[in-house]
Amino acid sequence: MPDTPTSIDPAFLALPLRGLADAALSRARALGASHADFRLERVRSASWRLRDARPAGSSDTLQLGYAVRVVMDGAWGFAAGVDLTPEAAARVADQAVAVARISAGISAASGTEDLVALADEPVYGDVSWVSAYEVNPFEVADAEKSALLADWSSRLMAADGVSHVTATLLTVQENKFYADTAGTVTTQQRIRLNPELEAVSVDERTGAFDSMRTLAAPPRAAGST
């Protein structure tokens, strides 16, 4: 097992995580929610694709948003937002409480007795968790990643019967901040990647073809919230 890095991406920690959480949870508590939690996630995904050892496309995207979930009158309420201001976070909490009240009213009108009851769970103080990896792929130069895929592709194309090779690589960095009204506060970072190779054999006489592709699942550490 490789050593696990202990540091969370500083760019994620620079976001107003606690201020947004405090605004949302305080508002939900003031409105009478028996439980509230706040999650903010930032997910960066990048991919590369080579066709016969030549670049065929790439992408690099970043998604960022947060959500507030509450229990109100025995019902769940949920809302999400992207505006990183305390005022916006409080409004999202308002929306979550409104949804819970509507759900509770529907349940009461239908005579449902299945109210939300949270299981006992220990409070986890201010803790961080980072998945195990040796090198963050986002710290590796794009040219180096493409060169490795090209090398794999060239070696496959040199094999008898291989006509074409497609090589792809997906890398993902997930950061999540969580806080709830019970006092749990956690910050997580998870790195995963999925390289894939597909070799195609084409019969030049008949045009018939066959292919074989790697099927390994993307490495992904367990244990996150």
Burial of residue 114 (CB within 10 Å: 0-12, 13-18, 19+) is exposed
Across 109-113, 121-125, 201-205, 215-219, which has the greatest mean pLDDT? Answer: 121-125
Q: Is 218 part of any domain?
A: no
Q: Is 202 part of any domain?
A: yes
- Does pLDDT of 89 surpass 60? yes
Q: Is 221 part of any domain?
A: no
Q: What digits encode the pLDDT tens for the residues 101-125? A: 999 999 888 887 788 989 999 999 8
Residues 153 and 171: their CA atoms lie apart, in Å, by 19
Residues 118 and 167: their CA atoms lie apart, in Å, by 46
Please count the structural domains in the chain.
Answer: 1
Domain with residue 190: its CATH number is: 3.30.2290.10
Domain membership of residue 117 as a residue range = 10-213
Q: Is 36 part of any domain?
A: yes
Q: Is 225 part of any domain?
A: no
CA 129 to chain CA centroid, Å, is 14
Q: What digits encode the pLDDT tens for the residues 34-81? A: 999 999 999 999 999 999 999 999 999 999 999 999 999 999 999 999
The pTM score is 0.85
Q: Is 147 part of any domain?
A: yes
Q: Is 209 part of any domain?
A: yes
Sequence-distant (6+) residues with CB within 8 A of 77 are 33, 69, 70, 71, 95, 96, 97, 98, 99, 100, 101, 102, 103
Helix (H, G, I), strand (E, B) or coil at 104: helix
Q: Is 219 part of any domain?
A: no
